[in-house]
Amino acid sequence: MVLLNDHRILFGSALCLFVFLTLYIAVLPALDNQRINKPLPRQSKVLTKEERAGKMVYIENGCVACHTQQVRNVEMDNVFGKRPSIPADFAINRRTDFWRNTANLMGTQRAGPDLTNVGERQPSAEWHLIHLYQPRAAVEASIMPSYEFLFIERDYLQPGDVEVKVPEKFLKNKRKKIVATPKALQLVAYLKSLKQADFTDKSMVPAFLYKQQKKEGGNEQGGANLPDGAELFTTNCASCHQANGEGVPGAFPPLKGSPVVTGGDLELYITIIMKGYDPRPEFATMPPVGMNANFTPEDVTAIMNHERTSWGNNAKKVTVEEVKVIMDKIK
């Protein structure tokens, strides 16, 4: 009765209970998590000013509604990252500002692919810009809406303009130049920063729960086992050159029937894979995919043999030994 009759005791008891529960349920676990979940040894640095601005563009356009940033511990997710995500992956993130947290944009729905490792999976700024302006120009079956409002049309390019080479059939006015706005460039900078951190201690990170049997195969000359060339192509090349090898006219060249792919100049072919390519102004610049993905001679051999024998291409397969000699030469 004393508790109910004395408002000071009632309010004081309620305040003490509130403080206790806040400390016990929120503050102490948060401090414990901060102590335990340190950034991984090779975690990338905090976002740059441009990347942070791009993160805000990502937030204001609701990208988190359709894209996740978490690789689940199931086999179907291994196309999105080298391993499942762990709490330490997010330890480097910081609050947006004093009033807003939004440090992690993990998402819960995948209307589009996971973006955890998109900076390594798709390092080409040109690809991202084309994809933002008109997703169907980069991925034919994409259901992503167009973000044309992040771009402007000009009759003539001005100093400092970044032109986006959109295929003609997707242009409303074929005489206009498509130029990326600062927000578009900031968003691309943020997307390119999304890379799954490497790690030194293998015991820190679990393997995927469900592992498929590795396909056995080999080159016809040496019989050495090679990775799955089709899977490597899908992960690293298909987003630009398309699953059918036909590329995107005016943006990404075709590999189907390409004299580079089917020809005998293996040094040129391997150099393009490892160091990128920018010889033709009608196409976007190809980034150094092989170097970014740390391709081994076996990886390059598998991809080359897949490309040289797919979509009607009928070129002779290459050997690991041939590829290794050239990779050592061009390093």
What is the tens place of the pLDDT at every residue in 61-93? 999 999 999 999 888 898 898 888 888 788 788
Q: What is the pLDDT of residues 176-225, one digit of tens each?
A: 999 999 999 999 999 999 998 877 666 667 778 776 544 444 444 334 58
Which one-letter amino acid corresponds to residue 103? A
Asked if 87 contacts 37 with a C-beta cutoff of 8 angstroms, the reply is yes
In this predicted structure, the answer to whether residue 306 has a pLDDT above a threshold of 90 is yes
Q: pLDDT averaged over the chain?
A: 86
Summarised one tens digit per residue, pLDDT across range 135-167 is: 999 888 899 999 999 999 999 999 999 999 998
C-beta separation of 271 from 192 below 8 A: no
Task: Give 251 or 135, the one with higher predicted confidence.
Answer: 135
Q: If 0-12 CB within 10 Å is exposed, 13-18 middle and 19+ buried, where does residue 8 land?
A: exposed
What percentage of the chain reaches a pLDDT higher than 90? 52
Whether 311 shows a pLDDT value over 90: the answer reads yes
> How many angstroms separate the CA atoms of 69 and 77, rounded?
11
C-beta separation of 242 from 248 below 8 A? yes
- If phi > 0 it is left, if psi is from -120 to 50 it is alpha, else beta; for residue 223 that is left
Angle between helices 125-133 and 182-193 (to 10 degrees): 120
Residue 278 is predicted with a pLDDT of 81
Residue 214 is predicted with a pLDDT of 47
Q: How far apart are CA 95 and CA 105, in angstroms?
A: 11
Instruction: Look at residue 36 and tell me whether its pLDDT is greater than 90.
Output: no
- CA 226, 229, 234, 240 torsion-angle sign: positive
User: What is the Cα–Cα distance from 57 to 142, expressed in whole angstroms?
Assistant: 21
User: Residue 51 — very low, low, confident or very high, per pLDDT cuts 50/70/90?
Assistant: very high
Phi and psi based region of residue 294 (left: phi greater than 0; alpha: psi -120 to 50; beta: remaining)? left
Position 212 scores a pLDDT of 53
**DSSP code per residue over 168-198:** GGG-SSTTSEEEE-HHHHHHHHHHHH--PPP
Q: Which of 73, 152, 95, 123 has the alpha carbon at shortest distance from 236?
A: 123
Q: Is 235 left (phi over 0), alpha (psi -120 to 50) or beta?
A: alpha
Share of the chain above pLDDT 70, in %: 90
**pLDDT at residue 252 tops 50:** yes
Q: Which residue has the higher pLDDT, 99 or 265?
A: 265
Q: Give the per-residue pLDDT at 221.
A: 39
Residue 44 has pLDDT above 70, yes or no: no
The predicted structure's pLDDT at residue 133: 96
Secondary-structure breakdown of the chain: helix, strand, coil percentages, each rounded to the nearest 5? 45, 5, 50
Distance from C-alpha of 280 to C-alpha of 257, rounded to nearest angstrom: 17
Residue 232 pairs in a beta bridge with none
What gap in Å lies between CA 188 and CA 146, rounded to an integer?
Answer: 15
The average pLDDT across 270-291 equals 85
Q: Which residue has the higher pLDDT, 261 or 286?
A: 261
Average the pLDDT over 119-125 and give the result.
90
What mean pLDDT do residues 298-316 have? 94
Amino acid at 268: L
> How confident is the model at residue 211, as a pLDDT?
60
Whether 237 shows a pLDDT value over 70: the answer reads yes
Residue 317: per-residue pLDDT: 94
Residues with Cβ < 8 Å from 243, sequence gap 6 or more? 234
In whole angstroms, give the CA distance from residue 263 to residue 300. Answer: 16
- DSSP string across 29-77: HHHHHHHH-PPPTTPPPPPPHHHHHHHHHHHHTTGGGT------SSGGG
